[in-house]
Amino acid sequence: MAKVTKKSVEQVIEAIGGTDNIASVTHCVTRLRFALHDENKVDQEKLENIDIVRGAFSTSGQFQVIIGQGAVEKAYQELIKITGIEESSKEETKAAAEQNMNVLQKLVKMLADIFIPILPAIVTAGLLLGINNILTGPDIFYEGQSVIDVHTQWADLADIINVIASTAFVFLPGLIGWSAVKKFGGNPLLGIVMGLVLVHPDLLNAHGYGEAKEAGEVPVWNLFGLDIEKIGYQGQVLPILFASYVLAKIEIFLKKRVSDAISMLIVAPGALLITGFLAFIVIGPIMFTISNVITDFFVNTFNNFAAIGGLLYGLLYAPMVVTGLHHTFLAVDLQLIGSDLEGTFLWPILALSNIAQGAAAFAIMVATRDEKLKGLSLSSGISAFLGVTEPAMFGVNLRYRFPFVCAVIGSAIAAIFITVNGVLATSIGVGGIPGIFSIYTQYWLAFAIGMVISIVVPFVLTYLYVKLKKVKV
């Protein structure tokens, strides 16, 4: 990776339209994130030919320039010195970027802002469940038996790991409530409480609702002549999302109108109580029904048209990443995990898409004679194999377009194979090759074959395209 210098940063500023085109700027672990006045002023080709730049793309109203871990901080500080722009928080840059977004982009950004902060907890839980799978899954090391069946002294260890790992999913509404209420401008602690209210142990567990309803044993509260079902919303996403919005808005409304002297006695208790009643009477039942309709749609589609479902999601996932629309499916994944299915068939396709993008980047590494591109393709390919696709996707594959298409084709073929074979993930985990640890152990072989397909097909197609078409890379 080239060294960050004042000259290279000046070249970046010039390529994005100059200092006057920058409304705000911040950075994350690998990227400079710009809110620009006019993205049409960006010279993409000139920008991507700068030695410190590993790729650039626009998403969610922000123009993002990939610099790389460690180097991005140096580039950011140098940029601040050169431009004289004050350092911006991520929130300020996001707010500036929102001015350039349409309604759909704002909706996608809202979902991303809610779910991305809780992903570390979800991914960690997924990894730990993967360890639990290894210990409790039969036929991995012993025919017809699991590790704890043979080595019974490890059973309690597996049980403790399972408790720790499953907590994030058992109390998922609490995590979503914290993040959602914070996003909507309310007190995030109230969001946690609201989420936990919806999974209180005194309520009928949502997983037992169908059986209890069939037996006519659903408990109810009688409130002012209304029979309100006394059920929890374990594993549900939509009820807590909408309840969080209502909670935040009620809290904001009360804060503006209640004297500071009695604010503590009125605002939080009032907001929580009103939202709680609405959650059980209106929000919960309606959103529970809608959630089940969405879940049933995906389950029925993949059950009855597995190949078509796998093909479509395999084809569309990477393009959705480019637009940011993939964030909307986090909620669907979590909903599937919390359903009676107890797993998601969508997330394994994500992991294969990561691998496919990495394989296409590796093909460019082999085919090119450009030493800079070789190094970029190698590092970004490894990153994609480990679940982080942005450097490969935006730094290499989209730059030449055909590697991206080849990766999408490979991902779609692999997706068809694993979907037809009913592969399920226990949770959302780390993508790429480590993703196999989040897959139910009985589907490991099918998923491994899917990984081979997602490596071989994009690599061969990309390499042959370069050689047969004599493309200069």
DSSP 425: B
Encoded amino acid at 419, one letter = T
In angstroms, rounded to a whole number, what is the distance separating the alpha carbons of residues 301 and 305?
5
Alpha helices by DSSP H, 258-344: 263-278, 284-304, 306-323, 328-337
Q: Which two tokens stand for residue 234?
A: 């374990």
Count of all residues that appear for the chain in the document: 473
Reading phi first (left if > 0) and then psi (alpha if -120 to 50, else beta), residue 364 is in alpha
Strand partners, 66: 31, 55
In angstroms, rounded to a whole number, what is the distance separating the alpha carbons of residues 50 and 14?
11
In angstroms, rounded to a whole number, what is the distance separating the alpha carbons of residues 134 and 131?
5
Residue 403 CB: number of other CB atoms within 10 A?
33
In angstroms, rounded to a whole number, what is the distance separating the alpha carbons of residues 105 and 327?
11
SS3 436: helix
In angstroms, rounded to a whole number, what is the distance separating the alpha carbons of residues 390 and 53?
13
Q: Taking the mean position of all CA atoms in its chain, how far away is CA 229? A: 33
In angstroms, rounded to a whole number, what is the distance separating the alpha carbons of residues 385 and 379?
10
User: Sign of torsion, CA 120 126 127 129?
Assistant: positive
Residue 320 CB: number of other CB atoms within 10 A?
17
List phi, psi (to 5°) of 108: -65, -40
Rounded to 10 degrees, the C-alpha dihedral 445/332/182/161 comes to -30
The CA distances from residue 239 to 172, 271, 275, 330, in Å, are 12, 16, 11, 15
Does 406 participate in catalysis according to the annotation?
A: no
- Among 7, 19, 20, 28, which one carries the catalytic annotation? 28
Radius of gyration of the chain from Cα atoms? 25
In angstroms, rounded to a whole number, what is the distance separating the alpha carbons of residues 390 and 30?
9
Q: Which two tokens stand for residue 107?
A: 């909706």
In angstroms, rounded to a whole number, what is the distance separating the alpha carbons of residues 308 and 462?
24
DSSP 221: E
The set of catalytic residues is 28
